Structure 1
Amino acid sequence: MRGRTFRFGIFPEHLNNGRLKATFPLFQRHITRRYTTTRYTTSVVSFYDDKVTKYAEQSIRPVTLKQLIQFGQPPLSTSILLDSARYTKSELPVRLAHRVKALQKLPFIVGTNPYIKKIYQLYFDSFELICNFPEITDESTDDKFAEMLAQIVASHSENIPTLAKDFLDDMISARIGIRLIAEQHIALHNANPNVIGIIDTRTNPAKLIQSCANWVRELCEGHYGSSPDIIIDGQTDTRFAYVPVHLEYIISEVLKNSYRATVEYSSKIDRNFHPPIVATISKGENNVGIRIRDQGGGVAPDHLPSIFDYSFTTVPHDEDSNTAEVDNILSNVSRRAMQAGLGGPIAGLGYGLVFELINIV
């Protein structure tokens, strides 16, 4: 019998690969010995490993609307609720076991990803909780079961973002690097005394900020019908070596947030004017700083932990029909802008600040 453990990361079946055996024979013996020992010295691990296998061998039964209606047809009696609870308790472990097994079969390198390991642990913990829950015989145990299910559902709510985050971060960073190297070589064929490939050795941030502001102002006026002015102050004659297209993207995203916040906050507090947005440029011995300030009410404290998360946006999804109509007009403008490589809409996709952060890094 092969040794196994339920700690995620590497499983002995992965060591059956002939190439891995030939390349890492000592590593194979160490891991196999370690896992075989774990198998026979930790009965709990052995029990749950076998239990997952037993459930995973069962076929998943499709859920039909007829079944759901059967358990939810009013009036709901105690017996109907108990039948539903028993069905749920019998069905979920099978589905969870299939997910656990699928994650166990991932290649070792994939399994070492901390985000994958977190998802694996969630599925296994959920499987364990439901399997260990006592038989549901009355309303009291059903209430406790429903409460436990609510906690499980809540714990799995971030599964997709958790899986996506690390993958997207790496993919976007790699994409930036690939394009940077390729475009640099392409641009080297176009002679310019101040430009080395795509790096402008005399990038003027003041000029670039003004250019971005002009574009964002058009988006803002198309969306809201008005926009604030922008003031560029500080050391406006600063020049430094940078990739202009990256800086342009970063500044555009920050300005879109500032323009939107300023206009919406003016409406919220019945302010009959829009205070200007101020972009200040400072230059040190070895660095250049760009600070963009607005009077748009700031970021809500409960939003701060999420502002760099993928798909996070403060744009409400239940806006009235008039706003929705304006949004449709803006989306057409924004779609054309995105196709032309000019960025996205003024807000709502939830990717602007994340891409900006990755561009900076």
Structure 2
Amino acid sequence: MPPVAVRRAATARRITCSAALALSPTSSLSLRPHRCRGDRSHTTAAWRPVSVLDEWVAKEARPISLRQLMVFGRSLTESRLINSANYVRTELPTRIAHRIRDMQHLPYAVVKNRHISDVYNLYYNAFDSFRKIKEINTLEENDEFCKTISKNLQAHLTVIPKLAMGIIECSDLMDEQSLDKFMNTILRSRISRRVIAEQHLALTDTYNSPWFSPGAKLSEADFIGEVFIKCVAKDVVDRCGRTVQALARATYGPEVQVPEIKVEGHLSASFPYILSHLEYIVGELLRNSVRAVIERQIRESGTAKAGATEPVAPIEVTICESPQLIIIRISDRGGGVPRDILPHIWSFSKGPRGQKLLENLGQVPKMAATMQELHVHDEIGRADLRTPSYDSPSTSSLSSLSKRPPNLQLGMGLPLSRVYAEYWAGSLELHSLEGYGVDTFLQISRLGNKNEQLTTRATIDAV
């Protein structure tokens, strides 16, 4: 049999097996001897008929851009709010359905992992909930819809750590490239759903607020829903820098010599963006650089206390502005990425460090992937990093539900930051000079006219 035919036959057998399992009300692991590493326990899930997904998987998601979000929300009326509700009402089950089908196509032993199975059940319950909601015609119906959105967003705060643990535990059952493709797809889709859901919640909150006046002119410092109209890159770097420096003192002690963060270039460069996305990316990059510089100082001098050694090298941030792009370069002299770790920095399965990171992830029950989850109260107030005013899961996630210790490394920062960057058609690249330091380059669309980058079932099957 030709190699192509062999691959197709293997794929067909895997898909048939997965689909058959999905039709079964209960399943046993005895059909396959493979086991996942780490926590060896598995779960028996109640699988639903796959046919109920077919109608929704056949639909294509309708991507949007930041500019569309701004234009739509700038002139908010009751009619527009109802239209927003019905867009979200149909988009959420469509986007969730594609991800459920992705999970049904995974190898049986992977889907049976208790963490992946938990995520599957969360997704199916959310899909089942949203697909049954009828067309929204009144503000009262919209308020009830918002309660359903908030409930599901809250429940899904466990998704990121569960997915990460499941992928690491099952890294011996699938190749690293396939696992990372699955994780990138499912996390990008998760971001897309939270964007449209939280944008609608924010618009509803704005419309219901006592100071809302339809047609009122917004200042450049305003948010339209979750979109910050004029996001100044330097301000974000400064805020995240203060947070990261506070984290370093919480980790290494108050006497530690924390590297200075110098910002240069086009300091007034601004662009529309979702602030929590940018804060997460910049915060993680600065956190990595600050930690690398401090730990290099400890290795070479035995201490990083202020006054005990020469001043540590600063972190240099350069902001570049062009007609269509914003580029942020973060440079450190922390010694570079170790050669054995470098091949795995963008991977979610993490290679030889997987077992240690698996133990760390077990300490983080919930994760919204926001900079505020790493917040330290000893130097800056929570107002320094924006939180939404409406009572939503975002507010809960920003109050550090994860209880993540400041020195706990999860191995999620770089790969998740790249997912965030690429979601709005940007990019994130890292260049390491072993023995010297690291340069990271974040590229962002300045105009906000790039559609969200989505992956549907059709594009997955075409790969």
Give the TM-score of the pair, scaled to structure 2: 0.41
Of 178, 185, 189, the residue aligned with 1:170 is: 185
Asked whether the equivalents of residues 258 and 294 of structure 1 are also in contact (C-alpha less than 8 Å), the reply is yes
Relative to structure 1, the CA distance from residue 169 to residue 317 in structure 2 (aligned partners, 3 Å threshold; closer, same or farther) is closer
Match of 2:275 among 232, 239, 244: 244
Calculate percent identity across the aligned residue pairs.
27
Task: Give me the whole-angstrom Cα distance separating, in 1, the residues matched to 2:277 and 2:14.
Answer: 46
Over 6 Å off, 4+ runs: 313-318, 333-339
- Alpha-carbon separation, structure 1, partners of 2:276 and 2:373: 18
RMSD: 4.5
TM-superposition CA deviations, 1:103-122 (whole Å, max 9, x none)? xxxx8966995x749x9xxx
1:1-361 matches, cutoff 5 A: 7-11=9-13, 95=33, 116=107, 158-159=172-173, 162=176, 164-188=179-203, 189-190=205-206, 192-194=218-220, 195-225=223-253, 226=256, 227-270=258-301, 272-310=310-348, 312=350, 340-341=399-400, 345-361=406-422
Which residue of structure 2 lines up, in the alignment, with residue 32 of structure 1? none
Residue pair 1:256, 1:346 contacting (<8 A) in 2 also: no
* Aligned-partner residue type, residue 10 of structure 1: A
Native 8 Å contact 1:202 1:241 kept in 2: yes
Question: CA 1:289 to 1:238, structure 2 compared with 1: closer, same or farther past 3 Å?
Answer: same
Where structure 1 has 5 or more consecutive residues not aligned to the other structure, the ranges are 18-58, 61-92, 97-106, 120-155, 319-326, 328-332
Is the Cα contact below 8 Å between 2:264 and 2:317 reproduced in 1?
yes
Supply the distance in 1 between the matched residues of 2:104 and 2:262 (Cα, whole angstroms): 49
Q: 1:354 to 1:110 in 2, by over 3 A?
A: closer
| Residues 288 and 13 of structure 1: CA distance in aligned 2, closer, same or farther (over 3 Å) | closer
Q: 1 or 2 for the larger relative contact order (CA 8 Å, sep ≥6)?
A: 2
Q: What is the number of residues matched between the two proteins?
A: 227
Deviations 1:285-324 (A, max 9, x none): 1000101111100112332210011153998999xxxxxx
Kept after mapping to 2: 8 A contact 1:312/1:351: no
CA contact (8 A) 2:294 2:312 kept: yes
Secondary structure of the residue that 2:340 maps to in structure 1?
helix
Task: Write 1 or 2 for the structure with the bigger share of helix.
Answer: 1
The amino acid that maps onto 2:240 is: C
- SS in structure 1 at match of 2:10: coil
Conserved 8 A contact 1:173-1:358? yes
SS of residue matched to 1:259:
helix
Task: Tell me the distance in 1 between the aligned counterparts of 2:295 and 2:229.
Answer: 38
Measured after TM superposition, the shift of residue 250 of structure 1 is 0.2
Alignment gaps of 5+ in structure 2: 1-5, 20-28, 35-49, 52-100, 111-169, 207-211, 213-217, 302-308, 357-362, 364-371, 377-396, 423-463
- The Cα shift of 1:172 comes to 1.4
Between the aligned partners of 1:237 and 1:13, the Cα distance in structure 2 is: 52
